[in-house]
């Protein structure tokens, strides 16, 4: 019963290691390094890396930018709330507002084209969960996060809020179109 | 090593290796175990956040 | 200085309990189990609401119940029990009186008052902010005050533990280095000090904001520092339950650690790097740099994963060596077949080891990979992962330990031993299934902390695939089975305390009996030619590694099909 007794040797540190342990440590360490360099390697060769471009912002500043985009590029409206559907040209900055309990506006993108998607929240933390692609990004109030995206499949997508944001959280869902 | 001819550590009077001294010192471990994550995680993280530029 | 106290030598285990420490262990463990009971009752509400076909509670009640379930289980149950483990690992294992028992009772009182205050506040209904309570969503002031009082109490308890180590060393109650289990407890206590300090750094200003003294707490700073508390508190569990695994290997098999150096170095890696994994929660966040994310999420090059893989080998390995010494040497696995499977202390721990490694460990590393986190963040995969670590890993281990402690610490004969024999299997395997289907639903994108998969009839509602609904239904069924397993545990433990036959105290003396060093065993001297002392465990470890590698790269493959993101 010696895990609950002091070690039998005074200088236990010099006690030799069994080969089964030594072998396993070597294998495990190798695997750990593989995983570490995989993350770094993906930044170099991989195509899915979350941008860290971020700016401090306020609800007013951000709303003004979104409104400018909506005024310029709205193509139609949807639902009874008349949510604008915005089709900004490829390569441009596009903005999405998360607030209690909706996303605004609906974005329409072109397949294979690149956009700079800005995300910010007007109030609490929210989640940007793009389904069924299953891309999940946190939206934090006071911060404007700029993510460069390139859709690779056309179709209707849903944007689901997956950060708890109060009693209406389950109604916070919107669309995103890729043509 | 050369000062250690036996096949296991039966030396009752020899010097204790540095790593064992560290492992036997809970307060030194406490210091390291609080300092390292405080610097690498909390401090570095907060610095990253506080240096976020203001939007244009 | 000598303090008036007595020492009882347990006739069933040979362990020596000091009077003050014994009462404190009982009190902390008991209140812990009460919180487990409350959290378990709340789990019924969570499970039956997320089961789409049942969808039991209304939204406000669901979020309230989920908030309380998270805090009661992840913080109160586990930390109360861990304080008992810390006192056990210091006072009992070192045969030393507990330092400052009055202060230890103060710590207990603070934890009790804080936890009750927090829960009473949650059940008033205006603090349904989840365990994470991200600002600027605010709870009532007493929500934070309760957590702060609890944290201060827990911090004091950690220092009582460190104080006891000092007393033991000064009064020479043991010879040489502390036992390995005590060293594991030191690891847990160190992580606890970091955890609780981080909690204080962020919860005190948030409390001041809730009473109107502070005007703003930055949302992102809150998330970052809060997770140093929220995630690291679960790392206390890892260190604590791994110590208990070594303990159970010792008492169930008489197993000796394969190598003190290897096991302690693995704990050292935890002390230095395990807390960094708090970054797992911030990989999908703005504002934090890529180097910060990579260094922290990988525990500084995955050194804490290395440590876990080492413990995962050395603990079953030590059991195997002990069993082989008893003559169970046939083939790779006779030692395992002939293990005491009907002893719930052993079976609970073994089911915990396998579940923690295969389900909790692999999923945790996968989703803690910076890029892979994007397909997992805030989906129900996350609770799938942490139920594997915290429920299968920690809670099941603590349940197994309780079965050992009922006769030893509480001096009662266990009631309903037949039921207890089956409890780890029912609870453990239903939790295995629960975690698997939760991770399955999460892989399809289903959100965590969400009242209604159907989006309450919103005009833009997303239609989840049928498989997602099926998985969530299975989550409900498995959850109900696990709650049944938990109920049996409560029945057996509380029943034993109330109705179990009283067992004799054992000899009581006014002085401790000094603790000798472990006797050198055969294995300590026979190293060299034979090598591979634990081939069966090594085979299991290889199966683990292959599963790990496959699952890891399957997810990279999945990631590579996603939209381009940069």
Beta strands in chain A (DSSP E): 54-56, 74-78, 83-86, 93-99, 102-104, 106-109, 115-121, 126-131, 135-139, 143-150, 155-160, 173-178
CA distance C339 to B45: 47
Predicted pLDDT of residue C521 = 57
Q: For chain A, what is the domain count?
A: 1
CA distance C210 to C222: 14
Helix axes C141-170, C180-210, angle to 10 degrees: 150
Predicted pLDDT of residue B11 = 60
Residue pair A86/A73 in contact (Cβ under 8 Å)? The answer is yes
Looking at chain A, which residue has its C-alpha nearest residue B20? Answer: A13
Q: Is the ipTM of this complex over 0.90?
A: yes
pLDDT at C562 over 90: yes
**Does residue A25 lie within any of the structural domains?**
no
Looking at chain C, which residue has its C-alpha nearest residue B17? Answer: C261
Instruction: Give B7-36 pLDDT, tens digit per residue.
Output: 444 567 789 999 999 999 999 999 999 999
Strand order in the sheet with C507-509: C16-18, C7-9, C507-509
Looking at chain B, which residue has its C-alpha nearest residue A62? Answer: B55
**Does residue A162 lie within any of the structural domains?**
yes
Interface test with B, best of A13, A17, A121 (most B CBs within 10 A): A13
**Does residue A27 lie within any of the structural domains?**
no
pLDDT at A71 over 50: yes
Q: Please tell me if residue C200 touches chain B, with a CB cutoff of 8 Å.
A: no
Q: Is B29 within 8 Å of C191 when comparing Cβ atoms?
A: no
Q: Is C225 within 8 Å of B46 when comparing Cβ atoms?
A: yes
Q: Is A129 within 8 Å of C379 when comparing Cβ atoms?
A: yes
pLDDT at A51 over 60: yes
Across the interface, which of C186, C272, C275 has its CB nearest the CB of B26?
C186
Domains, chain C: 16-230 (1.20.210.10), 327-561 (1.20.210.10)
Contacts of C556 by beta carbon, 8 Å cutoff, 6+ apart? A38, A42, C372
**Does residue A39 lie within any of the structural domains?**
no
Q: Is C382 helix (H, G, I), strand (E, B) or coil?
A: helix
Residue pair C28/C77 in contact (Cβ under 8 Å)? The answer is no
Q: Is A173 within 8 Å of C461 when comparing Cβ atoms?
A: yes
Q: Show the domain range for A69.
A: 52-178
Q: Assign residue A144 the CATH number of its domain.
A: 2.60.40.420
Residue A18: pLDDT band (50, 70, 90) is confident
B35/chain A closest Cα distance in angstroms: 23
**Does residue A76 lie within any of the structural domains?**
yes
Q: Is B9 within 8 Å of A56 when comparing Cβ atoms?
A: no
Instruction: Give C347-379 pLDDT, tens digit per residue.
Output: 999 999 999 999 999 999 999 999 999 999 999
**Does residue A61 lie within any of the structural domains?**
yes
Q: What is the mean pLDDT of residues C90-119?
A: 97
- Specify the range with the lowest mean pLDDT, choosing from A15-24, A32-41, C306-315, C340-349: A15-24
pLDDT at C102 over 80: yes
What is the average pLDDT score of chain C?
Answer: 95
**Rama region for C43: left / alpha / beta (φ>0; ψ in -120 to 50; rest):** alpha
Predicted pLDDT of residue B5 = 40
**Does residue A95 lie within any of the structural domains?**
yes
φ, ψ of residue C368 to 5 degrees: the values are -85, 5
CA distance C389 to C352: 9
pLDDT at C341 over 80: yes
Task: Return residues 3-22 of A near C (CB < 8 Å).
Answer: 3-10, 12-13, 15-21
Contacts of C566 by beta carbon, 8 Å cutoff, 6+ apart? A47, A49, A51, A148
A11/chain B closest Cα distance in angstroms: 6
Which residues in chain A touch residue B11, judged by CB atoms under 8 angstroms apart? 10-11, 14
CA distance B31 to C162: 13
Which residues in chain A touch residue C274, judged by CB atoms under 8 angstroms apart? none
Across the interface, which of A18, A153, A170 has its CB nearest the CB of C527?
A18
B10/chain C closest Cα distance in angstroms: 10
Residue C527: pLDDT band (50, 70, 90) is very low
Q: Which residues of B28-46 are buried (b: 16+ CB within 10 A; e: fewer)?
A: ebbebbbebbbebbbebbb
**Does residue A57 lie within any of the structural domains?**
yes
Q: What is the mean pLDDT of residues C238-242?
A: 97
Output the CA–CA distances (angstroms, integers) from residue A133 to A161, A177, C450, C461, in the order listed: 14, 12, 19, 16
Distance between alpha carbon C406 and the CA centroid of its chain, in Å? 20
Residues found in chain A: 179
Indicate whether this model's pTM tops 0.90: yes
* Sign of the CA dihedral with C376 first, then C377, C379, and C383 last: positive
Instruction: Give C138-161 pLDDT, tens digit per residue.
Output: 999 999 999 999 999 999 999 999
Q: Which chains touch A (3 or more CB pairs under 8 A)?
A: B, C
Instruction: Give C20-76 pLDDT, tens digit per residue.
Output: 999 999 999 999 999 999 999 999 999 999 999 999 999 999 999 999 999 999 999
Residue C526: pLDDT band (50, 70, 90) is very low
φ, ψ of residue A173 to 5 degrees: the values are -150, 145
Predicted pLDDT of residue C3 = 59
Q: Is A15 within 8 Å of B8 when comparing Cβ atoms?
A: yes
């591979």: which residue's tokens? C532
Q: Is A6 within 8 Å of C174 when comparing Cβ atoms?
A: yes
pLDDT at A8 over 60: yes
């Amino acid at each position: 019963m010696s895990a609950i007794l002091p070690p039998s040797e005074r200088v236990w540190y010099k006690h030799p290691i069994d080969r089964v342990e030594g072998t396993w440590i070597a294998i495990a360490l190798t695997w750990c390094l593989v995983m570490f360099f995989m993350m770094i390697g993906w930044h170099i060769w991989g195509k899915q890396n979350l941008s860290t471009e971020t700016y401090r912002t306020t609800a007013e500043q951000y709303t003004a930018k979104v409104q400018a985009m909506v005024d310029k590029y709205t193509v139609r409206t949807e639902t009874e709330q008349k949510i604008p559907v915005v089709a900004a040209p490829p390569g441009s900055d596009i903005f999405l507002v998360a607030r209690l309990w909706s996303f605004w506006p609906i974005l329409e993108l072109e397949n294979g084209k690149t956009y700079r998607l800005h995300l910010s929240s007007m109030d609490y933390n929210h989640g940007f969960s793009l389904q069924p692609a299953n891309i999940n990004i946190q939206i934090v109030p006071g911060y404007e996060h700029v993510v460069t995206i390139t859709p690779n499949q056309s179709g209707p997508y849903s944007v689901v809020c997956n950060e708890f944001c109060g009693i209406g959280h389950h109604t916070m869902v919107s669309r995103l179109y890729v043509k | 090593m050369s000062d250690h001819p036996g096949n296991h550590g039966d030396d009752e009077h020899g010097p204790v290796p540095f790593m064992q001294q560290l492992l036997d010192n809970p307060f030194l471990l406490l210091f390291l175990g609080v300092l390292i994550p405080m610097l690498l995680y909390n401090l570095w993280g907060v610095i990253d956040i506080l240096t976020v530029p203001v939007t244009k | 200085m000598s303090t008036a106290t007595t020492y009882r030598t347990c006739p069933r285990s040979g362990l020596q309990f000091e009077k003050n420490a014994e009462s404190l262990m009982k009190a902390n463990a008991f209140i812990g189990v009460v919180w487990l009971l409350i959290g378990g009752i709340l789990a019924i509400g969570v499970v039956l609401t997320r089961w789409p076909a049942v969808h039991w509670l209304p939204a406000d009640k669901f979020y309230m119940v989920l908030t309380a379930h998270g805090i009661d289980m992840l913080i109160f149950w586990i930390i109360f029990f861990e304080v008992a483990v810390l006192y056990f690992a210091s006072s009992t294992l070192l045969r030393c009186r507990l330092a400052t028992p009055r202060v230890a009772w103060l710590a207990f009182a603070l934890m009790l008052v804080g936890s009750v205050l927090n829960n009473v506040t949650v059940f008033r209904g205006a603090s349904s902010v989840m365990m994470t309570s991200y600002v600027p969503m605010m709870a009532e002031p007493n929500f934070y005050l309760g957590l702060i009082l609890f944290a201060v109490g827990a911090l004091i308890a950690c220092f009582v533990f460190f104080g006891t180590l000092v007393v033991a060393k000064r009064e020479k109650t043991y010879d040489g280095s502390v036992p390995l289990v005590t060293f594991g407890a030191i690891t847990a206590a160190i992580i606890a000090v970091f955890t609780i300090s981080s909690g204080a750094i962020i919860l005190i200003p948030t409390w001041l904001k809730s009473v109107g003294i502070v005007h703003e707490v930055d949302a992102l700073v809150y998330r970052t520092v809060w997770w140093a508390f929220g995630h690291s508190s679960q790392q206390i569990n890892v260190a604590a339950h791994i110590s208990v695994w070594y303990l159970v290997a010792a008492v169930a098999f008489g197993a000796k650690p394969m190598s003190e150096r290897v096991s302690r170095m693995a704990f050292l890696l935890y002390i230095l790097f395990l807390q960094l994994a708090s970054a797992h929660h911030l990989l999908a966040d703005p504002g934090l740099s890529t180097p910060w994310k990579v260094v922290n999420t990988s525990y500084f090059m995955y050194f804490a994963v290395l440590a876990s893989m080492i413990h995962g080998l050395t603990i079953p390995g030590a059991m195997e060596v002990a069993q082989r010494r008893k003559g169970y040497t046939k083939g790779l696995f006779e030692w395992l077949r002939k293990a005491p499977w009907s002893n719930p202390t052993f079976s609970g721990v073994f089911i915990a080891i396998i579940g923690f490694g295969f389900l909790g460990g692999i999923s945790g590393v996968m989703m803690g990979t910076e890029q892979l986190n994007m397909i997992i963040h805030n989906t129900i995969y996350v609770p799938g992962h942490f139920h594997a670590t915290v429920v299968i890993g920690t809670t099941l281990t603590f349940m197994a330990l309780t079965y050992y402690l009922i006769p030893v610490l509480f001096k009662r004969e266990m009631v309903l031993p037949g039921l207890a024999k089956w409890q780890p299997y029912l609870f453990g395997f239903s939790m295995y299934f629960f975690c698997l289907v939760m991770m399955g639903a999460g892989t399809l994108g289903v959100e965590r902390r969400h009242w209604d998969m159907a989006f309450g009839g919103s005009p833009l509602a997303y239609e989840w695939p049928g498989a997602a609904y099926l998985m969530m239904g299975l989550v409900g069924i498995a959850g109900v089975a696990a709650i049944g397993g938990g109920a049996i545990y409560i029945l057996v433990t509380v029943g034993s305390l109330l109705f179990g036959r009283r067992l004799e105290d054992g000899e009581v003396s006014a002085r401790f009996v000094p603790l000798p060093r472990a006797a050198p065993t055969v294995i300590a001297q026979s190293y060299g030619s034979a090598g591979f002392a634990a081939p069966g465990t090594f085979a299991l470890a290889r199966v683990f590694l292959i599963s790990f590698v496959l699952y890891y790269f399957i997810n990279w493959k999945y990631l590579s099909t996603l939209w381009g993101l940069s």
